[in-house]
Amino acid sequence: MHPGPTGGKVSGASIAGRPSLATPIKESGDGAGEARDLDEKNAYALFAAILAGEFPAAEIGAVSGALQSKGASLIEMQGCMRALYAHVGRLEATAERPRPVILPTGGGARRQPNLTALLALLLKRYGVPVLVHGLARGEVDVASGATRDGETDPAASAAGFGRVTTLEILLELGIEPATSLADAQARLAQNQIVYAPAAVLAPGLVPLLDDRARPRTRSFARSLVKLIDPFRGDGYRVVSVTHTGQLRRMRDFLSATNADALLFRGTEGEPFANPLRQTQVETFAKGIRSICAEKESCSLVAIPPLPATIDASTTAAWIAQALAGEMPVPAPIIAELACCLQGARRAIAVV
């Protein structure tokens, strides 16, 4: 609902040229919301309007929550992604190199060390360009549960924040985030690795990603962000999920869109394989699915040595040791690395 010209309330459907946020939710007689699917055209129009800032936060939260709760359909995801790509900056892949691997980071890890940076730097070592994208520097404070003055926010901690983000670890390793698309392109060409904040890669998504007051909105937006390919088909996406239902929906999307990607259950929303248990890793080549790494039914027999604590400084130091050969890289991450290398090199023509 929006204020009308005279200050009254009018429905979204009555505003010319603007989709209605009531469309995704069918109101039942007792007032409970019964979710129903949108078609691709309406999903596109709705999400395009949301990204354009045409709706207030409360309405966006309601519709995003409905989509997240019921699980967005394949058609809805396709429509939303079509709208999203109008707001995603474009990066160019170098034809002489393997296709860039895209690692979308989540809100960080808080139960075990975040090893996304290890995977990224291993890929770089093998000559694969790597794009990592996620939270911006200013948003790290929100994810870690700290206020802008550096003090701990008890409310944030109680809400489940206090995570260690990939950006925090990359900063410890001397990798600064890109400040613009041009900067991201230059870093990718010169260093073969770049961290692109959402504000650089897809500015229209930032309001949906960084507001802790609307967790379901943020969750739905992050599901879509995992599917971004700024290289417009030349990138190789590493898509991680946290729940079985998400796994099925992402699988359907990657197959239907002829994607080249990896799909697996990640670690706390981060795109690295659980170092303590081999998970199944699925690979998609032009939408054709196969199994790249088989799931193990039990934990690894030999527990790999991991960082003693999960803080960014300790994790970064351990990653540096692993890259130097002083610490063994966990077998599940080696398996994921092999799958990424296989997918990235499919873009290389055989002469």
What pLDDT, in 10s, does the model give residues 207-252? 787 655 456 666 788 889 999 999 999 999 999 998 888 899 999 9
> By CB neighbour count within 10 A (0-12 exposed, 13-18 middle, 19+ buried), where does 60 fall?
buried
Confidence at residue 210, expressed as pLDDT on a 0 to 100 scale: 61
Does residue 4 or residue 274 have the better pLDDT?
274
Architecture of domain 101-347: 3-Layer(aba) Sandwich (3.40)
Q: Write out pLDDT tens, residues 83-125.
A: 999 999 999 998 889 999 999 998 889 899 999 999 999 999 9
Sequence ranges of the domains in the chain? 2-85, 101-347
Indicate if the pLDDT at residue 176 is higher than 60: yes
CA angle in degrees (0–180, nearest 5) for 31-36-37: 155
Q: DSSP letters along 99-114, please?
A: PPEEEE--S-BSSS--
Q: One fold for both 2-85 and 101-347?
A: no
Does residue 153 or residue 69 have the better pLDDT?
69
Q: Sign of dihedral through CA atoms 139, 144, 150, 152?
A: positive
Indicate if the pLDDT at residue 14 is higher than 80: no
Q: Which CATH class is domain 2-85?
A: mainly alpha
Confidence at residue 5, expressed as pLDDT on a 0 to 100 scale: 32
